[in-house]
Amino acid sequence: MNHEPITSNEKKLFNECMQTICVSGLKQTNIDTENSKPLQSINQNELSELKSKLYSLNEISPQTRGFAFEKFLNKLFSMYNLAPRGSFRLTGEQIDGSFQLDRFTYLVEAKWQERQVGNSDLLAFKGKVAGKAIWSRGIYISYSGFTPDGLIAFSKAGSTNIIGITGQDIHFILEGELSFVEAIQLKTRYAAETGEFWISVFDLRRGH
């Protein structure tokens, strides 16, 4: 089959179309800190309400607390306009939720249990996130925190695509030490610079 050669005008039109498509795509996916709320614009009544909800989770049974904790986190993400999604199931795995910040999608693993999370759980979640798109990141939220040995072992297991949040971190955020968005951004930068998965909001607030 014979094809007519492409003219210079057709090439110009094609390039203009591709540029328009690319710019349009960036605008549609640009869900970042321009849309998220800074700490100053967060209603203090909303923070107080969330603190009350968090305290009330201590009073319910462990069997229902996990799902209630996920709902609490979803409200926290919504308060900062992070386009949250609740838990969903894929073939062979469960994702506890997701949100979007700085053009990245953060997959959420949430645990409220007595024991702290160790290295094996962190590695499993790291692998889960690695199996998704390259613009995916992970945030492991463990109300009880992480084992010291687990943090050390995980930091030696190669580069990380996840960061950590503890119950203490959440309390500091609700007390206004940092906004949730600021905490995620600073934790992400700390992980990029040091390779360490977790640093407390308390230390971040003091410039560590």
pLDDT at residue 7 in the model: 56
CB atoms within 10 A of CB 81: 18
pLDDT at residue 38 in the model: 60
| Cβ contacts of 144 within 8 Å, gap of 6 or more | 111, 112, 113, 114, 115, 116, 117, 166, 167
pLDDT at residue 44 in the model: 85
Q: Which domains does the chain have, with CATH numbers?
A: 32-205 (3.40.1350.10)
- All residue ranges of the chain with pLDDT < 70 are 1-41, 208
pLDDT at residue 34 in the model: 53
- Judged by DSSP in three states, 122 sits in helix
pTM above 0.85, yes or no: no
pLDDT at residue 162 in the model: 98
CB 133 within 8 Å of CB 90: no
The Cα 120–Cα 70 span in angstroms is 22
Q: For helices 62-79 and 180-194, give the axis angle rounded to 10 degrees.
A: 100
pLDDT at residue 114 in the model: 94
The Cα 59–Cα 114 span in angstroms is 14
Name the amino acid, one letter, at 26: L
Name which of 21, 3, 23 is nearest 13 in CA terms.
21
